[in-house]
Chain A
Amino acid sequence: AQKVTQAQTEISVVEKEDVTLDCVYETRDTTYYLFWYKQPPSGELVFLIRRNSFDEQNEISGRYSWNFQKSTSSFNFTITASQVVDSAVYFCALSEPYNFNKFYFGSGTKLNVKP
Protein backbone atom coordinates (compact mmCIF):
# COMPACT_ATOMS: atom_id res chain seq x y z
CA ALA A 1 0.00 0.00 0.00
CA GLN A 2 1.09 3.55 -0.63
CA LYS A 3 1.82 5.82 2.30
CA VAL A 4 3.26 9.28 2.79
CA THR A 5 4.64 10.45 6.12
CA GLN A 6 5.32 14.05 7.03
CA ALA A 7 6.63 13.75 10.56
CA GLN A 8 6.88 17.50 11.16
CA THR A 9 3.46 18.69 12.19
CA GLU A 10 4.40 22.34 12.59
CA ILE A 11 7.58 24.36 12.12
CA SER A 12 8.23 27.96 13.11
CA VAL A 13 11.10 29.99 11.71
CA VAL A 14 12.10 33.62 11.57
CA GLU A 15 12.08 35.35 8.21
CA LYS A 16 15.21 34.76 6.12
CA GLU A 17 15.98 31.45 7.76
CA ASP A 18 16.23 28.36 5.59
CA VAL A 19 13.79 25.56 6.36
CA THR A 20 13.48 21.97 5.16
CA LEU A 21 10.21 20.06 5.13
CA ASP A 22 10.59 16.30 5.26
CA CYS A 23 8.60 13.75 3.29
CA VAL A 24 9.06 9.99 3.46
CA TYR A 25 7.02 7.66 1.31
CA GLU A 26 6.31 3.96 1.07
CA THR A 27 5.55 2.05 -2.07
CA ARG A 28 6.36 -1.39 -3.39
CA ASP A 29 6.36 -0.23 -6.96
CA THR A 30 9.22 1.04 -9.05
CA THR A 31 7.14 3.53 -11.02
CA TYR A 32 5.44 6.32 -9.14
CA TYR A 33 5.14 10.10 -8.92
CA LEU A 34 5.69 12.45 -6.03
CA PHE A 35 4.25 15.93 -5.54
CA TRP A 36 4.33 18.93 -3.27
CA TYR A 37 1.34 21.20 -2.76
CA LYS A 38 1.02 24.43 -0.78
CA GLN A 39 -2.13 25.40 1.09
CA PRO A 40 -1.99 29.05 2.22
CA PRO A 41 -4.34 30.37 4.92
CA SER A 42 -6.90 31.18 2.23
CA GLY A 43 -7.41 27.43 1.83
CA GLU A 44 -6.81 26.65 -1.81
CA LEU A 45 -4.24 24.04 -2.83
CA VAL A 46 -1.46 25.16 -5.10
CA PHE A 47 0.64 22.68 -7.02
CA LEU A 48 4.40 23.21 -6.57
CA ILE A 49 6.25 20.33 -8.16
CA ARG A 50 5.97 16.84 -9.56
CA ARG A 51 8.78 14.32 -9.75
CA ASN A 52 8.73 10.84 -11.27
CA SER A 53 10.58 7.87 -9.89
CA PHE A 54 12.88 7.69 -12.90
CA ASP A 55 14.35 11.09 -12.28
CA GLU A 56 16.40 11.60 -9.14
CA GLN A 57 17.78 14.95 -10.16
CA ASN A 58 17.31 17.61 -7.56
CA GLU A 59 15.42 20.67 -8.63
CA ILE A 60 15.72 24.33 -7.79
CA SER A 61 13.10 26.93 -8.55
CA GLY A 62 13.94 30.31 -7.14
CA ARG A 63 14.01 29.97 -3.35
CA TYR A 64 12.54 26.47 -3.51
CA SER A 65 14.53 23.28 -3.92
CA TRP A 66 13.67 19.62 -3.75
CA ASN A 67 15.87 16.67 -2.84
CA PHE A 68 14.61 13.32 -4.10
CA GLN A 69 16.45 10.25 -2.81
CA LYS A 70 15.08 6.84 -3.74
CA SER A 71 17.57 5.09 -1.47
CA THR A 72 15.91 6.62 1.58
CA SER A 73 12.42 7.01 0.04
CA SER A 74 12.48 10.70 0.74
CA PHE A 75 11.43 13.78 -1.18
CA ASN A 76 12.35 16.77 0.96
CA PHE A 77 11.53 20.39 0.25
CA THR A 78 13.75 23.31 1.23
CA ILE A 79 12.82 26.97 1.27
CA THR A 80 15.82 29.28 1.28
CA ALA A 81 15.58 32.71 2.88
CA SER A 82 12.00 32.14 3.99
CA GLN A 83 9.44 34.92 3.79
CA VAL A 84 6.23 35.57 5.66
CA VAL A 85 4.28 34.73 2.48
CA ASP A 86 5.67 31.21 2.70
CA SER A 87 3.51 30.59 5.76
CA ALA A 88 1.18 27.76 4.76
CA VAL A 89 0.53 24.08 5.14
CA TYR A 90 2.64 22.02 2.78
CA PHE A 91 1.55 18.61 1.58
CA CYS A 92 3.62 15.87 0.03
CA ALA A 93 1.73 13.36 -2.12
CA LEU A 94 2.36 10.09 -3.95
CA SER A 95 0.43 8.78 -6.93
CA GLU A 96 -0.41 5.14 -7.35
CA PRO A 97 1.63 3.39 -9.97
CA TYR A 98 -0.18 2.80 -13.26
CA ASN A 99 -3.24 4.59 -11.92
CA PHE A 100 -2.16 8.17 -11.76
CA ASN A 101 -5.63 9.24 -10.75
CA LYS A 102 -5.11 7.88 -7.24
CA PHE A 103 -3.18 10.17 -4.95
CA TYR A 104 -2.05 9.64 -1.38
CA PHE A 105 -1.35 12.76 0.64
CA GLY A 106 0.73 13.16 3.76
CA SER A 107 -0.80 14.83 6.79
CA GLY A 108 0.89 18.12 6.01
CA THR A 109 3.44 20.38 7.70
CA LYS A 110 2.33 23.78 8.88
CA LEU A 111 5.06 26.36 8.34
CA ASN A 112 4.94 29.59 10.29
CA VAL A 113 7.37 32.26 9.13
CA LYS A 114 7.60 35.12 11.59
CA PRO A 115 8.83 38.60 10.67
Chain B
Amino acid sequence: NAGVTQTPKFQVLKTGQSMTLQCAQDMNHNSMYWYRQDPGMGLRLIYYSASEGTTDKGEVPNGYNVSRLNKREFSLRLESAAPSQTSVYFCASSEVWDRDSNQPQHFGDGTRLSIL
Protein backbone atom coordinates (compact mmCIF):
# COMPACT_ATOMS: atom_id res chain seq x y z
CA ASN B 1 0.00 0.00 0.00
CA ALA B 2 2.31 2.74 -1.29
CA GLY B 3 -0.16 5.64 -1.37
CA VAL B 4 1.73 8.77 -2.45
CA THR B 5 5.40 8.32 -3.32
CA GLN B 6 7.81 11.21 -3.64
CA THR B 7 11.33 11.11 -5.02
CA PRO B 8 13.91 12.05 -4.03
CA LYS B 9 13.63 12.28 -0.24
CA PHE B 10 16.60 14.64 0.07
CA GLN B 11 18.41 16.88 -2.39
CA VAL B 12 21.02 19.61 -2.23
CA LEU B 13 21.30 22.01 -5.16
CA LYS B 14 23.42 24.98 -6.03
CA THR B 15 21.77 28.28 -6.88
CA GLY B 16 20.74 28.31 -10.52
CA GLN B 17 20.53 24.56 -10.95
CA SER B 18 17.33 22.94 -12.15
CA MET B 19 15.53 20.04 -10.58
CA THR B 20 12.33 18.04 -10.94
CA LEU B 21 10.57 16.54 -7.95
CA GLN B 22 8.54 13.47 -8.78
CA CYS B 23 5.27 12.37 -7.27
CA ALA B 24 3.16 9.32 -8.00
CA GLN B 25 -0.02 8.00 -6.41
CA ASP B 26 -1.57 4.59 -6.76
CA MET B 27 -5.03 5.37 -5.38
CA ASN B 28 -6.58 6.40 -8.71
CA HIS B 29 -7.19 9.90 -7.34
CA ASN B 30 -8.15 12.67 -9.72
CA SER B 31 -6.62 15.59 -7.83
CA MET B 32 -2.98 16.12 -6.97
CA TYR B 33 -1.15 18.93 -5.14
CA TRP B 34 2.26 20.34 -4.37
CA TYR B 35 2.92 22.18 -1.11
CA ARG B 36 5.96 23.66 0.53
CA GLN B 37 6.47 23.70 4.27
CA ASP B 38 8.61 26.36 5.87
CA PRO B 39 9.29 26.87 9.59
CA GLY B 40 6.55 28.88 11.25
CA MET B 41 4.45 29.07 8.09
CA GLY B 42 2.67 25.78 7.82
CA LEU B 43 2.00 24.36 4.38
CA ARG B 44 1.45 26.60 1.39
CA LEU B 45 -0.06 25.39 -1.86
CA ILE B 46 2.21 25.83 -4.86
CA TYR B 47 0.19 24.24 -7.65
CA TYR B 48 -2.59 21.75 -7.95
CA SER B 49 -4.13 19.60 -10.62
CA ALA B 50 -7.84 19.00 -10.24
CA SER B 51 -7.81 16.32 -12.92
CA GLU B 52 -5.56 14.85 -15.56
CA GLY B 53 -4.69 17.49 -18.13
CA THR B 54 -5.33 20.52 -15.90
CA THR B 55 -3.10 22.50 -13.57
CA ASP B 56 -3.73 25.65 -11.56
CA LYS B 57 -1.72 28.03 -9.44
CA GLY B 58 -1.94 27.93 -5.71
CA GLU B 59 -0.78 30.46 -3.16
CA VAL B 60 2.96 30.55 -4.02
CA PRO B 61 3.53 29.46 -7.66
CA ASN B 62 6.38 31.79 -8.61
CA GLY B 63 9.59 30.00 -9.51
CA TYR B 64 7.89 26.66 -10.12
CA ASN B 65 6.34 24.74 -12.98
CA VAL B 66 4.31 21.56 -12.87
CA SER B 67 3.33 18.76 -15.20
CA ARG B 68 0.47 16.35 -14.78
CA LEU B 69 2.03 13.59 -16.79
CA ASN B 70 -0.90 11.21 -16.40
CA LYS B 71 -3.45 10.41 -13.74
CA ARG B 72 -0.81 8.88 -11.46
CA GLU B 73 2.04 11.37 -11.75
CA PHE B 74 2.44 15.06 -10.95
CA SER B 75 5.91 16.61 -11.11
CA LEU B 76 7.23 19.90 -9.76
CA ARG B 77 10.10 21.63 -11.53
CA LEU B 78 12.46 24.32 -10.32
CA GLU B 79 14.03 25.82 -13.44
CA SER B 80 16.61 27.99 -11.67
CA ALA B 81 16.77 27.18 -7.99
CA ALA B 82 17.13 29.99 -5.46
CA PRO B 83 18.01 29.80 -1.75
CA SER B 84 14.48 31.03 -0.94
CA GLN B 85 13.21 27.74 -2.32
CA THR B 86 14.92 25.78 0.43
CA SER B 87 12.02 23.97 2.00
CA VAL B 88 10.28 20.66 2.56
CA TYR B 89 8.02 19.83 -0.35
CA PHE B 90 4.94 17.67 0.02
CA CYS B 91 2.87 16.08 -2.67
CA ALA B 92 -0.71 15.06 -1.95
CA SER B 93 -3.62 13.50 -3.76
CA SER B 94 -7.34 13.26 -3.24
CA GLU B 95 -10.42 11.90 -4.82
CA VAL B 96 -12.85 14.41 -6.26
CA TRP B 97 -14.90 14.55 -3.14
CA ASP B 98 -18.24 15.78 -2.04
CA ARG B 99 -19.44 17.09 1.26
CA ASP B 100 -19.70 13.61 2.69
CA SER B 101 -16.16 12.48 1.92
CA ASN B 102 -14.01 11.89 4.95
CA GLN B 103 -10.42 11.81 3.75
CA PRO B 104 -9.68 14.74 1.49
CA GLN B 105 -5.93 14.43 0.99
CA HIS B 106 -3.24 11.80 1.27
CA PHE B 107 0.27 13.12 1.67
CA GLY B 108 3.65 11.78 0.64
CA ASP B 109 6.56 11.68 3.05
CA GLY B 110 8.08 14.90 1.74
CA THR B 111 11.26 15.97 -0.06
CA ARG B 112 13.82 18.01 1.86
CA LEU B 113 15.41 20.41 -0.59
CA SER B 114 18.37 22.63 0.28
CA ILE B 115 19.65 25.26 -2.11
CA LEU B 116 23.06 26.69 -1.43
Contacting pair B99 A52 (CB below 8 A): yes
Nearest A residue to B104 via CB reads A50
Question: Which B residues touch A91, using CB under 8 A?
Answer: 42-43
Question: Which B residues touch A95, using CB under 8 A?
Answer: 104
Interface string of A37-50 (1 = CB under 8 A from B): 00000111101001
Cβ contact of B42, chosen from A50, A101, A105, cutoff 8 A: A105
Cβ contact of A45, chosen from B31, B41, B99, B107, cutoff 8 A: B107
Cβ contact of A106, chosen from B33, B42, B101, cutoff 8 A: B42
Total A-B pairs in contact (CB under 8 Å)? 57
Interface string of B37-76 (1 = CB under 8 A from A): 0001111110010100000101100000000000000000
Nearest B residue to A103 via CB reads B45
Number of interface residues of B (CB under 8 A): 30
Bound Cα distance from A101 to B42, whole angstroms: 17
Bound Cα distance from A31 to B20, whole angstroms: 36
Main secondary structure of the interface of A (DSSP, over half): strand
Cβ contact of B44, chosen from A33, A45, A47, A105, cutoff 8 A: A105
Contacting pair A101 B33 (CB below 8 A): yes
- Does B105 sit within 8 A of A, measured CB to CB? yes
Contacting pair B31 A101 (CB below 8 A): yes
Nearest B residue to A9 via CB reads B40
Contacting pair B103 A101 (CB below 8 A): no
Would you list 5 pairs from A and B whose C-beta atoms are within 8 A, ordered by A residue?
Answer: A45-B92, A50-B102, A50-B104, A102-B58, A104-B45
A residues at B contact (CB < 8 Å)? 4, 6, 9, 33, 35, 42-45, 47, 50, 52, 54, 91, 93, 95, 100-108
